[in-house]
Amino acid sequence: MESAYALAAAELAKIRERNRAEHERRLNEVRTANPGFIQIERSLAAKGAALIRLITEKSADFSVIESDIKQLRRKKTDILHSLNLPEDYLDNIYTCSKCRDTGFDDRGGRCTCLKQLVARFMGQNSNLTERMKNQTFENFDFSLFSNQPPENGRDPFLHIKRIHDICKRFADSFDETHENLLLKGNAGTGKTYLSSCIANRALTRGKTVYYQTAFKLFDMLEKFKFNRCSADEQEQFKAVYDYVFSVDLLIIDDLGTEFTSSYSSIALFNIINSRCLDGKSTILSTNLSSESLTKLYSQRFASRVFGDFTTLSFIGRDLRMNKLRQK
C-alpha cells in the first residue's frame, strides 16, 4: 500500500495549489475591474519593504511609513467595497485555518486535518470492511443479550451495557488517557463488533486507526522480516510495519489464532511495548484465557498487557449461532 501519509501530503499539496489558484483569480478579477489597484499593490510592497529596513536598522521613527501603509490599505478596502466584494476577499485562502493547509500546527504537531486525511486514505488499508464501518455504538443491538441466562452470577444484558459504556468512553478519550484494552471472551460475544464501534468513533474524531487480525498481521510482518515476498509486497508490508508503531489506535483481533513463532512473539511484544512507552493506545481481542496467553507468548508479554491494559471479559452465548437458530 502507498503510505497514507504520502497520499495525505499529496492531497494537501493539491488543496494549497487550488487555493493559490483561486487567490490569483480573485486578484486578477479586481485588477481587471480597477486597474488602479495594481499601483496600490506596488506601493504597498515598496512601503512594506521600507518598513522592514527601518525595523532592521532599529530606526526610532517609522510612523510616517506606517501611516502611508494604513492609507493604502484603506484604498484597497474602498476598491473592494466599490465592487461589492467583502474586505477579506483578497486574503490568503486556507481550507484549514489552524495549519494553513500545511498539515502541521505551530508546534510541529500533526493537525486534525492531516489526521482526517490520513484516516480517509487508511480506509482502503485499515481492513474495516463495509460491514464493519456500519458497526457503531448507535447501532449496537442490546436486545441480542436480553434473553440470555446468567453466567457466573452475571446478567449478560447488564454486563454488555457496562462494557459498551466503557468502550464508548475509551473511544472518546483514549488519545488523552493513553489507555489500552484487552477484550477477552468466547467467539461471537461482541468483541469484534465493539472494536469496530471504537474504530469508527475514533475515525470520526480525526484519529488514525489500523485494524488487523493477528493471523494476517504477523503473516505480513514475517514475510517482510525474512524477505519472503515480492518487491511490491515488501514495500506494502514495510508501510504496515511502520504504521503499527505510529497509528493513533491499533486494533489486533483474534490474538492467539496466528501461527506462533519466536519471531511473532518478539514482534508482538516490541509493538505493544513501544506503543505503551509512546503513549499510543492499543486494543487486543482474544478467545484465550489469561493463562493461555501467558503460555503462548511470554511472561514478559503478559506482564506488560495485564499491567497496562484494562481487561474486559465478554460473556454469553455465541450471538452468531443464536441468529442461525432463530432463522
Q: How far apart are CA 54 and CA 57, in angstroms?
A: 5
Q: How far apart are CA 159 and CA 123, in angstroms?
A: 31
Amino acid at site 232: D
Mean pLDDT, residues 92-120 taken together: 90
Read off the pLDDT of residues 1-44 as tens digits, 9 standing for 90 and up. 456 778 889 999 999 999 999 999 999 999 999 999 999 999 99
Rounded to 10°, the helix 299-308/262-277 angle is: 30
Q: Kindly report the average pLDDT of the chain as a whole number.
A: 88
Question: Does residue 263 contact residue 223 with C-beta atoms inside 8 Å?
Answer: no
Amino acid at site 306: F
Instruction: Tell me the torsion sign for CA atoms 257, 258, 259, 262.
Output: negative
pLDDT level of residue 49 (50, 70, 90 thresholds): confident
What percent helix, strand, coil does the chain show, rounded to 5? 60, 10, 30
Q: How far apart are CA 100 and CA 19, in angstroms?
A: 11
Closest CA to 98 of 87, 82, 109, 90: 109
Burial class from Cβ neighbours inside 10 Å (0-12, 13-18, 19+) for residue 284 reads buried
For cell 452470577, name the residue: 153
The number of C-alpha atoms within 13 Å of 142 and in the hemisphere containing its C-beta is 12
Q: Within its chain, how far is the Cα of 115 from the centroid?
A: 4
Of 3-7, 20-24, 69-73, 158-162, give the range with the top mean pLDDT: 20-24
Q: The domain 123-326 belongs to what CATH superfamily? A: P-loop containing nucleotide triphosphate hydrolases (3.40.50.300)
Question: Does residue 271 contact residue 235 with C-beta atoms inside 8 Å?
Answer: no
Closest CA to 261 of 231, 225, 291, 230: 225
Question: Does residue 111 contact residue 98 with C-beta atoms inside 8 Å?
Answer: yes
Closest CA to 116 of 227, 239, 5: 5
Q: How far apart are CA 112 and CA 207, in angstroms?
A: 8
Read off the pLDDT of residues 236-247 as tens digits, 9 standing for 90 and up. 888 888 889 988
R_g over Cα of the chain: 28
Which residues, listed in sequence order, are joined to residue 313 by a DSSP beta bridge? 184
Residue 62 has pLDDT above 90, yes or no: no
pLDDT level of residue 188 (50, 70, 90 thresholds): confident
Residue 59 has pLDDT above 80, yes or no: no
